[in-house]
Amino acid sequence: MKVLLVHNFYGSAAPSGENQVFEAERTLLRARGHEVVEFTRHSDEIRGQGAWGAVRGGLSTPWNPWMTWAVRREVERLKPDVVHVHNTFPLISPGIFHAIGDRAARVLTLHNYRLFCPAGIPMRAGKVCTDCLDARGSLPAMRHGCYRGSRVATAPLAFSVWLRRAMGTWRNQVDAFVALSDFQRNVMADAGLPLSKVHVKPNFYPGMPPVAPWHERGNYVVFAGRLTAEKGVATLLRAWRLWGPGAPELRLAGDGELRPQLEAMAEGLPVRFFGQLSGAEAQTQIAGARLLVLPSEWFEGFPMVVREAFAFGTPAAVSNLGPLASIVRHGQSGVVFQAASPESLLQEVRAAWEAEGCLQHLGLGARREFEEKYTEDANYAALMAIYKQAMAVSRAGGR
């Protein structure tokens, strides 16, 4: 099979799970003998251009005629079976789907909710917000300036959402969507995607990493991710404050805008800030931990850190928002607590931490989940099934 992979890499200064997934699937396809060609752009191209870069990105978001022409030319030259798009924001634009037409099957991975939510993250003022998805329009985002707190910055994204609906891009110009969970599939279908074209394929972890013996693990809990409001780290630190002197060491691997505030909150607590780590360094922390905690307060897609924890046999404690409670099965591969509630977080995590043998049992369940659902083999089989369905839909004229 010949596959053209399309991706706009986010800025190199900020780690991106989307970039990791793109690279992992590219490697997987090539390892299985497929001919893979890449069409990529990088947001770094505009990051250093100041105001002009911002204008250029904004103008490119709804429709970039140069990228549309370039992708069409590449498709006509390569004649791929499948064009698999991961991210078009901000430089490539969804106009490429119209340019590809029936020349190849068109697949789009839903790494976030940007097709219908201009901010990409369904969250406003620290709380989950689905106004644009529910209203099937982007006026709420414009009213609140949801992207970067600015109506000017939000306008190109809001216009892109409106334009895609008006042109029927998602209904008629994509043959298969890849959702990362059943939850995301249902949310996006309710917002307007054709349910029959939305398929579920979670992220995977390459290889079969060894599991650290329980007696060799450190006596700590780890959080790995951005230190931003939607990740719920402030709630996590409030729970540690409630726990008191008996709380285990909490390691925070990651950086972000809230770090100074969080460091002040953590004063006097057994909390260590590791800052931004490489992928390998972060995985070392996860592999050696007794528990991963992810207190998200927004709708995640499929967190990369959860698939890493499962691969290393580390149980996960997650909030009950979005797909997390279906990914982490309470009492089997981890524990689930009420989002934005330090009391609930403390109750569930402390009970698992203090019950003899509980975390080790949950860790065994986490590894079983990985071996059943999140390996290369399982992911490859799911991806091939989606490609074949997309090709069938394309041959049938998009129906």
pLDDT above 80 for 140: yes
Q: What number does CATH give the domain 2-204+376-395? A: 3.40.50.2000
Arithmetic mean of pLDDT, 122-141: 91
pLDDT above 90 for 238: yes
CA 361 to chain centre: 28
pLDDT on residue 15 = 62
CATH C-level class of 214-373: alpha beta
CA dist., res. 358 & res. 363, Å (int): 9
| Domains 2-204+376-395 and 214-373 fall in the same CATH topology | yes
| 36 beta partners | 3
Core vs surface per residue 353-367: b (16+ CB within 10 A) or e: beeeeebbbbbbbbb
pLDDT above 80 for 249: yes
The DSSP code sequence of 58-86 is HHHTT--HHHHHHHHHHHHHH--SEEEEE
Q: What is the chain's mean pLDDT, rounded?
A: 94
CA angle at 186 for the pair 161 and 333, rounded to the nearest 5°:
125
Q: What is the pLDDT of residues 292-307, one digit of tens each?
A: 999 999 999 899 999 9
pLDDT above 70 for 129: yes
Half-sphere exposure for 230 (CA within 13 Å, toward CB): 17
- Check if the beta carbon of residue 314 is closer than 8 Å to that of residue 223: no
Helix, strand, coil percentages, rounded to 5, for the chain = 50, 15, 35
Cα torsion 358, 360, 361, 362: sign: positive
Please report, as a single letter, which amino acid is at residue 124: R
Q: What is the pLDDT of residues 12-65, one digit of tens each?
A: 766 678 998 999 999 999 999 999 999 999 988 877 666 667 777 777 888 999
What are the sequence ranges of the domains in the chain?
2-204+376-395, 214-373
Q: Is the pTM of this model over 0.75?
A: yes
Arithmetic mean of pLDDT, 314-342: 97
pLDDT on residue 255 = 95
- pLDDT confidence bin for 148, thresholds 50/70/90: confident
pLDDT on residue 14 = 63
Q: What is the pLDDT of residues 340-366, one digit of tens each?
A: 999 999 999 999 999 999 999 999 999
